[in-house]
A and B are shown apart, each in its own frame.
Chain A
Amino acid sequence: MKVAVITFPGSNCDYDLFKAAQQVGGDAKFIWHRERGLENYDAVLLPGGFSYGDYLRAGAIARMSPIMEDVIAFAKTGRPVLGICNGFQILCESGLLPGALMHNISLKFESKDVMLRVDRTDTMFTKDYKTGQVLRIPIAHGEGNYGADNETLKALEDQGRVVFRYVDRDGELSDEANPNGSWNNIAGITNATGNVLGMMPHPERAMEKLLGSTDGLALFTSMVGSMQPS
Chain B
Amino acid sequence: MTNPTAMQVPPREGDPEITPETVADHGLTPEEYEKVLKIMGRDPTFTELGVFSAMWSEHCGYKNSKRLLRLLPTQAPWVIQGPGENAGVIDVGDGYALAFKIESHNHPSAVEPYQGAATGVGGILRDIFTMGARPVAVLDSLRFGDLDNGRVRYLFSGVVNGVGDYGNCVGIPNVGGEVQFDRGYEGNPIVNAMCLGLMRHEELITAAATGNGAPLMAVGARTGRDGIHGATFASEELSEDSDESSRPQVQVGDPFTEKLLLEASLELIASGAISGIQDMGAAGITSSASEMAGRGGSGVELEMTAVPVREEGMTPYEILLSESQERMLVVAHPGREDEVREILEKWELEAAVIGQVTDDGKFRILEDGNVVGDIPALPLTDGCPTYEREGIESGEVIALREMDLTEHMTAEGDLTKDFLLLLRSPNVASKRWIYEQYDTTVRTGTAVRPGGDSGVIRIRGTSRAIAATTDCNGRLVYLEPRTGAMAAVAEAARNLVCVGALPTAITNNLNFGNPLKTHIYYQLREAVLGMREACSAFETPVTGGNVSLFNETDGKAIYPTPVIGMVGVIDDVSKIIRHAFNTPGDDIVLLGTNSGELGGSEYLYATSKLVAGHPPSVDLEAERLLQQAVLKMNHEEVLNSAHDCSEGGLAATLAECALGNGETPLGVTVEVDEDLAPIVSLFGESHGRIIVSTSPENTERVLALAALYDVPAKRIGTVTEMASGFSIKVRSGSVQASMTDLAEAYFGSLPNIMDAPTDSEA
Question: Chain A interface (Cβ within 8 Å of chain B)?
Answer: 9-10, 12-13, 15-16, 19-20, 32, 48-50, 52-55, 108-112, 138, 140, 142, 169, 202, 204-205, 207-208, 210-212
* B169–A10 CB distance below 8 A: yes
Q: Give the CA-CA distance A207 to B446 in the complex, in Å.
A: 12
Q: Does B753 contact A (CB under 8 A)?
A: no
- In the complex with contacts A9-B348, A10-B169, A19-B444, A55-B439 CB distance below 8 A: no
Q: Other CB < 8 Å A-B pairs besides A53-B256, A169-B663, 9 of them?
A: A9-B348, A19-B444, A49-B171, A109-B437, A110-B437, A111-B438, A111-B440, A140-B440, A212-B449
Q: Does B417 contact A (CB under 8 A)?
A: no
Pick the contact of A205 from B259, B444, B458 — CB < 8 Å? Answer: B444
CB-CB under 8 A from A208, the residues of chain B are 444
Task: List the A residue with the shortest CB-CB distance to B347.
Answer: A9
* B439–A140 CB distance below 8 A: yes
* B444–A12 CB distance below 8 A: no
Q: Give the CA-CA distance A32 to B345 in the complex, in Å.
A: 13
Task: List the B residue with the shortest CB-CB distance to A48.
Answer: B442
* A16–B347 CB distance below 8 A: no
Distance (whole angstroms) from the CB of A110 to the closest CB of chain B: 6
Q: Per-position contact with A for B438-456: 1 when CB-CB < 8 Å, else 0?
A: 1111111111010000000
Q: Give the CA-CA distance A207 to B259 in the complex, in Å.
A: 25
CB-CB under 8 A from A12, the residues of chain B are 169-171, 259, 442
Q: Does B260 contact A (CB under 8 A)?
A: yes
* B447–A210 CB distance below 8 A: yes
Q: Give the CA-CA distance A116 to B260 in the complex, in Å.
A: 33
* B165–A111 CB distance below 8 A: no
* A111–B256 CB distance below 8 A: no
CB-CB under 8 A from A111, the residues of chain B are 168, 435-441
* B256–A52 CB distance below 8 A: yes
CB-CB under 8 A from B460, the residues of chain A are 19
Interface residues of B in 408-440 (CB under 8 A from A): 435-440
7 A-B residue contacts at CB 8 Å?
A: A16-B443, A49-B171, A109-B164, A109-B438, A111-B168, A140-B168, A142-B168
Pick the contact of A138 from B165, B170, B346, B441 — CB < 8 Å? Answer: B441
CB-CB under 8 A from B254, the residues of chain A are 53
CB-CB under 8 A from B545, the residues of chain A are none
Q: Give the CA-CA distance A68 to B437 in the complex, in Å.
A: 30
Pick the contact of A10 from B256, B346, B663 — CB < 8 Å? Answer: B256
Task: List the B residue with the shortest CB-CB distance to A19.
Answer: B444
Task: List the A residue with the shortest CB-CB distance to B445.
Answer: A211
Distance (whole angstroms) from the CB of A20 to the closest CB of chain B: 8
- In the complex with contacts A10-B169, A50-B169, A210-B573, A202-B256 CB distance below 8 A: no
Distance (whole angstroms) from the CB of B488 to the closest CB of chain A: 28
Distance (whole angstroms) from the CB of A139 to the closest CB of chain B: 9
Q: Give the CA-CA distance A103 to B444 in the complex, in Å.
A: 25
* B437–A16 CB distance below 8 A: no
Q: Give the CA-CA distance A19 to B559 in the complex, in Å.
A: 46
Q: Give the CA-CA distance A202 to B444 in the complex, in Å.
A: 10
Task: List the B residue with the shortest CB-CB distance to A49.
Answer: B171
Task: List the B residue with the shortest CB-CB distance to A12.
Answer: B171
Interface residues of B in 242-262 (CB under 8 A from A): 254-257, 259-260
- In the complex with contacts A10-B256, A53-B169, A53-B256, A207-B435 CB distance below 8 A: no
Q: Give the CA-CA distance A208 to B171 in the complex, in Å.
A: 20
CB-CB under 8 A from B165, the residues of chain A are 109
CB-CB under 8 A from B443, the residues of chain A are 15-16
Q: Give the CA-CA distance A9 to B349 in the complex, in Å.
A: 11
Pick the contact of A53 from B255, B438, B445 — CB < 8 Å? Answer: B255
Q: Give the CA-CA distance A53 to B257 in the complex, in Å.
A: 8
Q: Give the CA-CA distance A110 to B441 in the complex, in Å.
A: 12
Task: List the B residue with the shortest CB-CB distance to A14.
Answer: B171
Distance (whole angstroms) from the CB of A150 to the closest CB of chain B: 31
Q: Give the CA-CA distance A48 to B435 in the complex, in Å.
A: 19
Task: List the B residue with the shortest CB-CB distance to A50.
Answer: B169
Q: Per-position contact with A for B568-609: 1 when CB-CB < 8 Å, else 0?
A: 000001001000000000000000000000000000000000
Distance (whole angstroms) from the CB of A76 to the closest CB of chain B: 29
CB-CB under 8 A from B346, the residues of chain A are 32
* A109–B168 CB distance below 8 A: yes
* A50–B441 CB distance below 8 A: no
Distance (whole angstroms) from the CB of B559 to the closest CB of chain A: 29
* A112–B436 CB distance below 8 A: yes
Q: Give the CA-CA distance A98 to B446 in the complex, in Å.
A: 33
Q: Give the CA-CA distance A136 to B398 in the complex, in Å.
A: 54
Going nearest first, the 4 A-B pairs with the smallest beta carbon separation are A12-B171, A53-B256, A140-B439, A50-B169
Q: Give the CA-CA distance A108 to B438 in the complex, in Å.
A: 10
CB-CB under 8 A from B576, the residues of chain A are 210
Q: Give the CA-CA distance A217 to B254 in the complex, in Å.
A: 34
Q: Give the CA-CA distance A214 to B451 in the complex, in Å.
A: 21
* A210–B458 CB distance below 8 A: yes
Q: Give the CA-CA distance A17 to B386 in the complex, in Å.
A: 51
Q: Give the CA-CA distance A111 to B431 in the complex, in Å.
A: 13
Q: Give the CA-CA distance A109 to B439 in the complex, in Å.
A: 8
CB-CB under 8 A from A13, the residues of chain B are 171, 442
Pick the contact of A108 from B347, B437, B444, B458 — CB < 8 Å? Answer: B437
CB-CB under 8 A from B458, the residues of chain A are 210
Distance (whole angstroms) from the CB of B113 to the closest CB of chain A: 15
CB-CB under 8 A from B435, the residues of chain A are 111
Q: Give the CA-CA distance A9 to B438 in the complex, in Å.
A: 21
* B442–A9 CB distance below 8 A: no
CB-CB under 8 A from B164, the residues of chain A are 109
Distance (whole angstroms) from the CB of A98 to the closest CB of chain B: 27
- In the complex with contacts A12-B170, A12-B171, A211-B446 CB distance below 8 A: yes
Distance (whole angstroms) from the CB of B184 to the closest CB of chain A: 28
Task: List the A residue with the shortest CB-CB distance to B169.
Answer: A50
Q: Per-position contact with A for B450-481: 1 when CB-CB < 8 Å, else 0?
A: 00000000101000000000000000000000
CB-CB under 8 A from A55, the residues of chain B are 256
Q: Which of B171, B435, B437, B445 has the most CB of A within 10 A?
A: B171
Task: List the A residue with the shortest CB-CB distance to B439.
Answer: A140
Distance (whole angstroms) from the CB of A59 to the closest CB of chain B: 14
Distance (whole angstroms) from the CB of A114 to the closest CB of chain B: 11
Q: Give the CA-CA distance A32 to B437 in the complex, in Å.
A: 29
* B170–A205 CB distance below 8 A: no
CB-CB under 8 A from A202, the residues of chain B are 441
CB-CB under 8 A from B446, the residues of chain A are 211
Q: Per-position contact with A for B706-742: 1 when CB-CB < 8 Å, else 0?
A: 0000000000000000000000000000000000000
Pick the contact of A140 from B256, B441, B445, B663 — CB < 8 Å? Answer: B441
Q: Give the CA-CA distance A169 to B576 in the complex, in Å.
A: 26
Q: Per-position contact with A for B32-45: 1 when CB-CB < 8 Å, else 0?
A: 00000000000000
Q: Which of A12, A16, A169, A202 has the most CB of B within 10 A?
A: A12
Q: Give the CA-CA distance A138 to B435 in the complex, in Å.
A: 13
* B447–A211 CB distance below 8 A: yes
- In the complex with contacts A9-B260, A53-B169, A16-B444 CB distance below 8 A: yes
CB-CB under 8 A from A10, the residues of chain B are 169, 256, 259-260
Q: Give the CA-CA distance A48 to B161 in the complex, in Å.
A: 20
Distance (whole angstroms) from the CB of A19 to the closest CB of chain B: 6
Distance (whole angstroms) from the CB of A9 to the closest CB of chain B: 6
Distance (whole angstroms) from the CB of A64 to the closest CB of chain B: 14
Task: List the B residue with the shortest CB-CB distance to A108.
Answer: B437
Task: List the B residue with the shortest CB-CB distance to A23.
Answer: B444
Task: List the B residue with the shortest CB-CB distance to A179.
Answer: B436
Q: Give the CA-CA distance A16 to B347 in the complex, in Å.
A: 20
Task: List the A residue with the shortest CB-CB distance to B573.
Answer: A210
CB-CB under 8 A from B663, the residues of chain A are 169
Distance (whole angstroms) from the CB of B460 to the closest CB of chain A: 8
Task: List the B residue with the shortest CB-CB distance to A34.
Answer: B346
* A140–B444 CB distance below 8 A: no
Q: Per-position contact with A for B660-695: 1 when CB-CB < 8 Å, else 0?
A: 000100000000000000000000000000000000
Q: Give the CA-CA distance A52 to B257 in the complex, in Å.
A: 9
Q: Give the CA-CA distance A204 to B460 in the complex, in Å.
A: 15
CB-CB under 8 A from B348, the residues of chain A are 9
Pick the contact of A110 from B169, B256, B436, B442 — CB < 8 Å? Answer: B436
